[in-house]
Amino acid sequence: DVKVTQSSRYLVKRTGEKVFLECVQDMDHENMFWYRQDPGLGLRLIYFSYDVKMKEKGDIPEGYSVSREKKERFSLILESASTNQTSMYLCASSLRNQETQYFGPGTRLLVL
Amino acid sequence: RKEVEQDPGPFNVPEGATVAFNCTYSNSASQSFFWYRQDCRKEPKLLMSVYSSGNEDGRFTAQLNRASQYISLLIRDSKLSDSATYLCVVSMTNNDMRFGAGTRLTVKP
């Protein structure tokens, strides 16, 4: 079974803090993704990576950065958290040429 | 206009009912289509892919109409455990998937 884990289920941060969200997958998947999910908007892609040290912007990259130093780990960084980044953050992974994405359990981030 | 649109529901149906969800997409060049299921406070999980010829998996039937750019999901003989949010997903490539906001289903005893 594919396993995608995320470092925290719930996180509360203050405006201006730097926030790190970690995602690890154990199935040797090449592709990894970060989404945010908000009511009424569905999942929106922030960044994705198709290989170590490679990254591509998704639809809403502003205010975020990512890091992929190892194949199994994909980190999302909020350089200076703002209240409009309060959301559910979902990490996913997939094999290079397959479309099925496997999701982690999500991190609910509240920025005060 | 959203790229993938779904009726948000909620759909409240009794056990044993048949329920259908529709989803429309705007990009005619879309290649692949899926339904994901998301339980409350959990992650989305793939329910089924949707093929041009239509496909069935037990009580679930998915259909694709490329000409009208819509996808449907039919659930027969609804169970309490079918209660969830159903996400319509459309993709151009395996790195470009577009998610609908989801349709919430509650099956009641």
Q: What is the C-alpha separation between A107 and A109, in angstroms, rounded?
A: 6
How far apart CA A90 and CA A46 sit, in angstroms, is 10
* The pLDDT value given to residue B8: 87
Does pLDDT of B2 surpass 80?
no
Average pLDDT, chain B: 93
Q: Are strands A4-6 and A102-103 parallel, antiparallel or unpaired?
A: unpaired
* A67-112 pLDDT, tens digit each: 999 999 999 999 999 999 999 999 999 998 888 899 999 999 999 9
Quick check: helix, strand or coil at residue B39?
A: coil
pLDDT of residue A97: 81
Mark yes or no for CB contact A42/B101 under 8 Å: yes
- Best to test chain A binding among B43, B49, B51, B92 (most A CBs inside 10 Å): B43
Give B78's contacts (C-beta < 8 A, 6+ positions apart).
Answer: B13, B14, B15, B16, B17, B18, B19, B59, B105, B107
Half-sphere exposure of A90 (CA within 13 A, CB side): 22
Structure confidence at residue B1 (pLDDT): 66
pLDDT digits (tens, 9 = 90+) for A50-67: 999 999 999 999 999 999
Secondary element (H or E) of residue A52: none
- Cβ distance of B99 and A43 shorter than 8 Å: yes
Q: Is the pLDDT of residue A28 over 90?
A: yes
Which residues, numbered 37 to 96 in chain B, qualify as contacts with chain A under a Cβ-Cβ cut-off of 8 Å?
A: 42-46, 49, 87, 91, 94-95
Q: How many helices and strands in chain A, by DSSP H and E?
A: 0, 11
Which residue from B minimizes the CA distance to A30?
B95
Please indicate whether, in this complex, the C-beta atoms of B45 and A43 are within 8 angstroms of each other: no
Sign of the Cα pseudo-torsion (B88, B57, B43, B18, in order): positive
Whole-number Cα distances in Å, A99 to A5, A41, A54, A92: 19, 21, 19, 11
Q: What is the pLDDT of residue B94?
A: 65
β-strands B19-25, A31-38: how paired? Answer: unpaired
Where does the pLDDT of residue A40 fall: very low under 50, low under 70, confident under 90, or very high at 90 and above? confident
Summarize the confidence of residues B36-62 as an average pLDDT: 94
Amino acid at A110: L
* pLDDT tens track for A3-26: 999 999 999 999 999 999 999 999
Is pLDDT at A2 greater than 80 in this prediction?
A: no
Q: Are A16 and A80 in contact (CB under 8 A)?
A: yes
**Residues contacting residue B7 through CB under 8 Å, at least 6 positions apart:** B21, B22, B103
State the pLDDT at residue A73: 97
User: Mean per-residue pLDDT for A19-42?
Assistant: 94
Give chain A's contact residues with B (Cβ, < 8 Å).
Answer: 4, 31, 35, 39-45, 48, 50, 56, 90, 94, 96-101, 103-106
